[in-house]
Chains A and B, each alone.
Chain A
């Protein structure tokens, strides 16, 4: 649920609630130039069996940008995220309608292997999930299943990934210790290092800091800014402050209530450069969300 950042946010809200002013950090950043299309998402709906969980999603994710998905719970942001690396394939009865293209290639094409997809599009989860193996083996896991067995190369990869994840100094002397013995923030950075070790193209993050304390969260956010030069990042977050701090573009999702079946379906409401979405939201629902109570 809500994390300690709540206090910072309410302070901010008190300053901005009537002015629709964008929070400080976002206003200083220049409008992100649109580069290579990483994901082209058109008219996508995601179903679990016959239940339509998300409907009518269309947006483009650009290379080397951090795109944030925000919205109240149940709005489908995680569902959409998980469709981008075909993790929804693991849920029985889940299917995607519409068109998702990854660098021009249909992601759900007939001959596309989800395994290959996931090697290019990595994921960091909400609750850190290190394997019950050593720290070294956690990071080396990805390269190993990709066929890398040379001890020397693996050592290099492990060190590089742990450095990138800003964890190297803390664990370099205990690489053979179990990954389960790390604190929450360290464990999450280990999971990020693990994802970086396979050198993916895109990194999807599903509320990566929501289970962490503010300091650990700050570390993760700094990390994201550093690695975005090499990767493209899509992050789901229900912390608007975080979205304004780190993201270049933000997509706001919301919930539609279906009166006949009494179910809720998520949908994309607005997608814009972060300054614009928070500073000058076009849709009423967006306006209500970014200025009102946190959903």
Chain B
């Protein structure tokens, strides 16, 4: 550029002046604001639920049967709903998780690049976007109409919801398992099934479990699939395969539109319990990921 003369040149090393700098600042502030904008209602909701819920929670609350809507505050509890949520979600998990893992195995280990596999993967992702109430209508049509209300019907609907979620998360984990592990197993004369079951799955198990737990947390909180399939029991129904059942989300939904203070209080208590369950599942999922994601070298 210009030749160096006797005097050192003056250089301006300050930040971009004026509008550019202000604009940058404004934009950064906006970004931070957007975070605050979600933080505030979330905090609001959590504080409300914890506040109103904690005041009704007690051991008898968690174990007593569901009282009639008109009951005053402090009577009855959510025992059947807790049992129902656990039963129904457990059955749904037992159905959806193995099938989901097998589906992911098909996509990653057997399907490769072939068009059918690509189509299945694509439609599986699309299926995660199907509204959960449609799953409820579906199972109502093919199961509840023929076999009546039961926890199992709800479980089927939840399983339909969970299946594509488990497929996608398991698939992502299987993809990460290094191919050198598979080759090492093949070289010892293992069949593809053995390679998959004895080497690939164990290597991926941490991520798969974590993904499954998140799917379970999602299912536990779902109401719509259960609306038309499980009914509304007031007593604990230990038989998940027959008879009406209930669940925490169903109970909350029913009580949310109730004008009675007792039902409303019950609803808050149930909401707190439900959030606690989902939250614990999420934490365990994160812990599992942190603890087991060490096979990649």
Contacts and interface: CB of A to CB of B under 8 A. Distances in A.
**Do the two chains touch directly in the complex (Cβ atoms below 8 Å apart)?**
yes
Interface of A: 85, 87, 90, 92, 115-120, 122-123, 125, 127, 129-133, 141-142, 145-146, 180, 191, 194-195, 198
Interface in B241-297: 294-295, 297
Contacts, number: 68
Given A125-B183, A127-B180, A141-B198, 8 more contacts: A87-B186, A92-B112, A122-B187, A129-B184, A131-B181, A131-B184, A132-B203, A145-B190
30 contacts: A85-B187, A87-B186, A90-B186, A92-B113, A115-B190, A115-B191, A118-B189, A118-B190, A119-B188, A119-B189, A120-B189, A122-B188, A125-B180, A125-B183, A125-B184, A125-B187, A129-B181, A131-B184, A131-B203, A132-B203, A132-B295, A142-B189, A145-B188, A145-B190, A145-B194, A180-B294, A180-B297, A194-B188, A195-B187, A195-B188
Interface residues of B, number: 22
B233 interface: no
B51 interface: no
A167 to B, nearest CB: 16
Contacts of A130: 184
A146 B180 CA distance: 21
A239 B186 CA distance: 27
Contact of B180 (A119, A129, A141): A129
B199 interface: yes
B64 interface: no
Contacts of A129: 178, 180-181, 183-184
Nearest to B178: A129
A142 B180 contact: no
B185 A131 contact: yes
Interface string B189-206: 111001000110011000
B184 A142 contact: no
Given A129-B181, A131-B199, A133-B202, A87 B187 contact: yes
Contacts of B112: 92
Contacts of B185: 131, 141
Contacts of B198: 141, 145
Q: Which 3 A-B pairs have the closest CB atoms?
A: A119-B189, A123-B187, A129-B180
Contacts of A119: 188-189
Given A90-B183, A125-B183, A129-B180, A142 B202 contact: no
A220 to B, nearest CB: 17
